[in-house]
Amino acid sequence: MNRCLTPMGRRLLRASILQPSCDECLIAYRQSCVAELVANHSLCISLQPVVQRLFGTDRLLMLAIKPLHVNDMQNAERNLNYALLLKSCLDTVPELEAILATGVHPFFVKTRKNLRNSEFQVMKDKILTLIHVDARFVKGCTSLSMQRCFAIKADINQLLDVARQIYCELISDMKNMVEQLAVKHKLQLSLEYNINLGYHINVVIPRGSNMTISDLPAEFIQARKNRRSITMTTTALLTLNKQCKNACEEIYMMSNTLLTNLLEDIRQHVGCLFQLSADVAELDLILSLAQISSNPEYVRPSFEAKLELINSLHPIMELFNRDLPMANDVNASITHNFHLITGPNMSGKSTYLKQIVLLQIMAQIGSYVPATQATFRVADRILCRISSRDDAELNASAYVLEMKEAQYILQSVTPKSLVILDELCRHTTVEEGSAIAWAICEKLSLTTAFTFAATHFLHLTALSNMYHNILASALEMMPNSVKLFNHHSSYPSSSPLYNELRDLLYLFGFAENPTSLC
């Protein structure tokens, strides 16, 4: 589901998945916004590159708390980055406002109103008094270093202008030196830069060539061979690189001296950036959900007092499997809120249970779901007991851990919870496990929580004869396919009529078809 373009959007998506909203009005509000983007594809396409350019909005919030007057190299680079990032964001705000003018949803209207805040223009006017109009924040250490060096306008500080001229001359000298070495040794040399090596020489190894470090001329030193290239330097280039580094640091320090007072003056106006960061995060999340929901096989879910999914698919299997998995129906209501699911191994019981949980989470964060029709009840708690493992840190065996989790579920269940139990009590003897599982199922059946429990204890299906709200179902294994996990469907079963041994004999080749053993 992560189609987000900014760190804020990814964090909001993660938080929404870990803690989906229980407010039905908020869910419907986000759903309607996603629906507008799905219907208005051009608006969705126009917003994506603009939102991506606002990726650093949350980093600017540090302007409100970080000390700015510390005059060292680290703070100089940081302040220059803040200035460039702030200017890039302020340049993007009017463009985002213009694009949102075509949206009619209340969220777009509210965001557009927030973007009209006069504080944005005040900060931009102050920034342009010192920062060059073409300066911007870019990715890549070489490009960003150059932007930092020339961020301050010319003719503001003569010493700064001289330092920048020296810096440019040193880079020009290094380029000329590398060109001369390329002609001299008849090699395809280029001047490269990275944070670890600084300026250095790079030679690409031609395909089919067996060039090694020993084949290089003796004046090249500190050679390192990578996969398809060799990096190296010379004594003269090392000297120029050191001088270039010193010149760059001097530029940073002088720029920081001019920039500190400007950032201190802007600090009183950065309050609007908090709202901007929140708006960009929400907009990024909605764009991500809109991309997923634009799939024609996805449907907008509704919310009522029941759970009803028609031809629903597992969202992960549907995306990554080459073959489309078998669609399944899911039904739960107050009258039938407890479902016991049986079936042979690898018939898809665990996949079916996980599908229910994933679709519930997708619906409650505002996304469309893969189904032809989807109705959910808003769950205030999703309680799952799926994993089968022990925990050495807690000094708990798999059975003890299973009982602790079951106890937590029984204590935490609410009338609107969604409870998932995958093969409860399988880590003890059959007699003890079936008795405990029976007791847990009876206890949960007395609540109005929607419960789905998969089990191999076939006699538990007798609970459906004792309690009218318990429904027993089985996952049928399709005999014409080896890919059992991709071809299964659920059907009601009031008693365990199917023979699991029959299916296993067919699976391992002891019978031509499952029905031949009946």
Structural domains in the chain, sorted by start? 7-139+146-151+253-291 (1.10.1420.10), 158-251 (1.10.1420.10), 299-508 (3.40.50.300)
pLDDT digits (tens, 9 = 90+) for 156-181: 899 999 999 999 999 999 999 999 99
* pLDDT (0 to 100) of residue 376: 96
Q: 177 CB contacts (<8 Å, ≥6 apart)? A: 234, 236, 237, 240
Residue 306 pLDDT > 70, yes or no?
yes
* pLDDT (0 to 100) of residue 64: 82
pLDDT digits (tens, 9 = 90+) for 275-301: 999 999 999 999 999 999 999 999 999
Per-residue DSSP letter, 102: T
Give CA–CA dist 273/411, Å, rounded. Answer: 43
pTM of the model: 0.84
Q: Are strands 418-422 and 450-454 parallel, antiparallel or unpaired?
A: parallel
Burial of 158 (0-12, 13-18, 19+ CB in 10 A): exposed
Cβ(231)–Cβ(201) below 8 Å: yes
Residue 412 pLDDT > 90, yes or no?
yes
pLDDT digits (tens, 9 = 90+) for 185-238: 888 899 999 888 889 999 988 877 778 888 888 899 998 988 888 899 999 999
> CA angle 461-474-372, nearest 5°?
130
pLDDT band at residue 101, thresholds of 50, 70 and 90?
very high
Give CA–CA dist 192/203, Å, rounded. Answer: 10
Per-residue DSSP letter, 390: -
344 phi/psi in degrees, rounded to 5: -70, 170
**What count of Cα atoms within 13 Å lies in the side-chain half-sphere of residue 227?**
0
Give CA–CA dist 126/86, Å, rounded. Answer: 11
Average model confidence (pLDDT) across the chain? 86
Give CA–CA dist 341/472, Å, rounded. Answer: 6
* pLDDT (0 to 100) of residue 361: 96
